[in-house]
Structures are given as C-alpha cells and as structure tokens.
A = this chain, B = another copy of it.
Amino acid sequence: MSGAENYVISGPDLLNLTTEIFVKAGLGREDAGIAAGSLVEANLRGTDSHGVIRVENYIKRLKHGGAAANVKCRLVSATPATIVLDAENGLGAVASRQVCGLVRDKALKNNLAFGVVRNSNHFGAASMWALLLAGDDLISFVGSNVHRLMPAPGGKGAAIGNNPFALAVPAGRYEPMCLDMACSVVAQGNVLKYRHDRRQMPEGWFVDSEGEPTTDPFEALMVLPFGGHKGFGIAVIVEMLSALLAGGAFADNIGSQYDDLVNPNRLSHFFGAMRIDAFRDLGEFKSDVDEFIDKLKAVPKKAGVAEIFYPGEIEAARKKANLKSGIKLPRSIVEELSEIAAELKVEKTMIAPLTARPV
C-alpha cells in the first residue's frame, strides 16, 4: 500500500470484492451480491456513511450471531395488497430486496401495495429500496426503525430511533426524485469526529445526560430529532409503520447494531408503493414532475448559489460521475476491507484493485 490517503476503485471491482467477502462469510452468492450491491450503491451515490464502511459491522454480526447468513424470509401473512415477512435475522438488504419485488408485483396488479418485515437487520440506505421499488412507474415509501438513540421533547433518556425513511417519485427528463433522511439533525456518529478533533459542535445537534443542549462533544450524549417535536413525531410514525405494523420489536427490545454484536437486532422495515397510472396518465404525470422541477430551478437564487436541486438529484449525479471515475475510498476503509478480505481468505487478485489506484 502506498502512502496515499485515498484510493479509487471501480464500482464493479468493489462489488466483486464485497460480494466475495460476504460469500466467504457464509452467504449464498445471490444473497451476498444483494448485500454487497446495497452497500456499493450507497458509495456510488456518494452516501459513504451507508457504503462499504458497514462491511466490518455486517461481518462481525454474522460471525458473532447478531445476524444470520443462511436463512430465508418466512411468509407470515399476505393479501393481494399486503404482505408480512419475518427476516429470520438475515441481513436487512436480503429481506428488503425480496420484499421490494413482492410489493412491486402486488402494486402493479392491485394499484397499491404495502409490505412489512420484522426480525431483520440494518437495511442500508433507504433510497436504495425506494428507487428499486418505484422503478419507472410507481411512487414508493419505505422506512425502518432502529434502536432508541434520540430524546423525546421534554425527555433526557433515549426514546426513539432516528428511523430513516425514503420516498421515490419517477420523473421524465430528470432522474427520479428521491427523498432520503433519518429523523435526527445529523448522524449520531458526528460526535466521534468532533471528539477526535477536540472541536465544539454546532448548536442544536446534541444534548447532554440531563437532556440539555450542549456543543461539547465530550458532554454530548444524544443527537436531537430534526425540527424538534416535528422530527420526533415523524420518527414515531416510522416506528408505527414498521415495527408496530409488522408485529416486530420496539423500544428497549432493540439493541444497538454496533454495541451488541451477539443478539439479533430485530429491526422492522416497511415498503409501500402506488401505481401512478391508477390516478392519471403516466406520461402526463412525468411531464408535470419535469415542469415542477423546471420551475423549482427557475426560482431566484441566493448570491453565490449556482443551482437549486430537487431531492435526490445530487446523489443521482454523483452516481453517474462515480460510475465513470470510480469510487474514492479513504485509506482507513481500504485497510479495513483488505484485512477483512485477507482474514476470510478472499483471493488476492480480488483484493488488489483496492490499492491499485492511489490518489
């Protein structure tokens, strides 16, 4: 490995390597490809926090029993428009890929469909599933609960996860609209960066052990919901649509994905979809979405701002660029992946592309 701080690897090479890592960790090749694909897709879209940085945690969970490698989703119940699956503690991406296909089929036949999954694990970037489910003709809405990590308004203990969700809407000339967010102001992990740099954090991000606002990263205990009680309320609703509707675990029955590698995470997800042409002509809808975006971009901009973006536009542009130029990974991730791959006895020719292009 050279002294470079960053390396560039092509999307296909990173997908091959990550797939092989999951195969060596015990997943069937198809499931391994799905799990790897969901992580590499996040890197392609520039949302690196949900990319291959997660491989280490997934592998540790598979090794220590926190997640199961060779399981199949169990059908709990279904109607023409609905489905309930139990992921049997498999990887969230594997269950999500399956339920997206089932919900999409149901929505195409029934105009609307809604599926839920329980006993699952981290499902990666919500946008991955929203875009897959929506395709070219549906509007989709997906989400997941996670362990409690944010306070309620008035509370000083962890009350609710920052429950991520995403919605996708196809456009015509433009790439699909895709809104993807967690219900916290920022990611919980930010506090580590500020501790490392010994810098004060911006106001409004974190609270201390008494539930009072703090900018001191060493006092910071919990990240706040975005928009105060509004973000808190949305997180609660995501919990209702996922865990409560799926009959899954909630509140103190969900452990931390990172702090507890031994016990199942017991996350729940939801996947809803609507067929646009049940409401109006699909072409006219898409043409209106294009016009909406055109008008958004035509609004006067602040000094120094070149363009106004619609939800998901920046990520779609990054994917196009990264498919061409490759994915940039920091040295720390490259080393981590190399070690994991070597330990699992992945062939050296598959690991080599990680360090072939230092930048």
A-to-B contact residues, CB < 8 Å: 77, 79-82, 84, 110-114, 116, 139, 151-160, 167, 169, 177, 179, 181, 185, 210-212, 226-228, 230-231, 233-234, 236-237, 239-241, 244-247, 250-252, 274, 276, 278-280, 284-285, 288-289, 291-292, 295-296, 299-303, 305, 307-311
CA distance A97 to B276 in the complex (A): 24
- The distance from the CB of A211 to the nearest CB of chain B, in whole angstroms, is 4
CA distance A244 to B167 in the complex (A): 15
Known contacts: A236-B311, A302-B211. The answer to whether A296 contacts B159 by CB under 8 A is yes
Check B237–A154 contact: CB distance below 8 A: no
- The distance from the CB of A278 to the nearest CB of chain B, in whole angstroms, is 4
How many copies of the chain does the oligomer comprise? Answer: 2
- The distance from the CB of A313 to the nearest CB of chain B, in whole angstroms, is 11
CA distance A167 to B244 in the complex (A): 15
Task: List the B side residues contacting A185 at CB < 8 Å.
Answer: 227
Main secondary structure of the interface of A (DSSP, over half): mixed
- The distance from the CB of A252 to the nearest CB of chain B, in whole angstroms, is 7
The 6 closest A-B pairs by CB, nearest first: A227-B227, A226-B227, A154-B305, A157-B300, A211-B302, A157-B299
- The distance from the CB of A138 to the nearest CB of chain B, in whole angstroms, is 12
Known contacts: A239-B292, A279-B245. The answer to whether A307 contacts B77 by CB under 8 A is no
CA distance A82 to B169 in the complex (A): 18
Check B274–A310 contact: CB distance below 8 A: no
Check B79–A155 contact: CB distance below 8 A: no
CA distance A82 to B107 in the complex (A): 12
Check B305–A155 contact: CB distance below 8 A: yes
Check B245–A139 contact: CB distance below 8 A: yes
Which of A157, A177, A211, A299 gathers most chain B CB within 10 Å? Answer: A299
Check A245–B305 contact: CB distance below 8 A: no
CA distance A300 to B156 in the complex (A): 6
| Residue ID in chain B nearest A228 by CB atoms | B226
Partner among B112, B240, B251 whose Cβ is within 8 Å of the Cβ of A112: B112
Task: List the B side residues contacting A303 at CB < 8 Å.
Answer: 210
CA distance A75 to B77 in the complex (A): 34
CA distance A291 to B248 in the complex (A): 13
CA distance A240 to B169 in the complex (A): 8
Task: List the B side residues contacting A300 at CB < 8 Å.
Answer: 155-157
CA distance A146 to B177 in the complex (A): 20
Which of A84, A110, A212 gathers most chain B CB within 10 Å? Answer: A110
Check B292–A244 contact: CB distance below 8 A: yes
Check B244–A285 contact: CB distance below 8 A: yes
- The distance from the CB of A84 to the nearest CB of chain B, in whole angstroms, is 5
Task: List the B side residues contacting A110 at CB < 8 Å.
Answer: 81, 110, 112
Task: List the B side residues contacting A245 at CB < 8 Å.
Answer: 139, 274, 276, 279-280, 285
Task: List the B side residues contacting A233 at CB < 8 Å.
Answer: 179, 181, 311
| Residue ID in chain B nearest A300 by CB atoms | B157
Task: List the B side residues contacting A179 at CB < 8 Å.
Answer: 233-234, 236-237
Partner among B155, B230, B302 whose Cβ is within 8 Å of the Cβ of A154: B302
Partner among B84, B159, B239, B302 whose Cβ is within 8 Å of the Cβ of A308: B159
| Residue ID in chain B nearest A251 by CB atoms | B295
CA distance A328 to B202 in the complex (A): 41
Check B177–A236 contact: CB distance below 8 A: yes
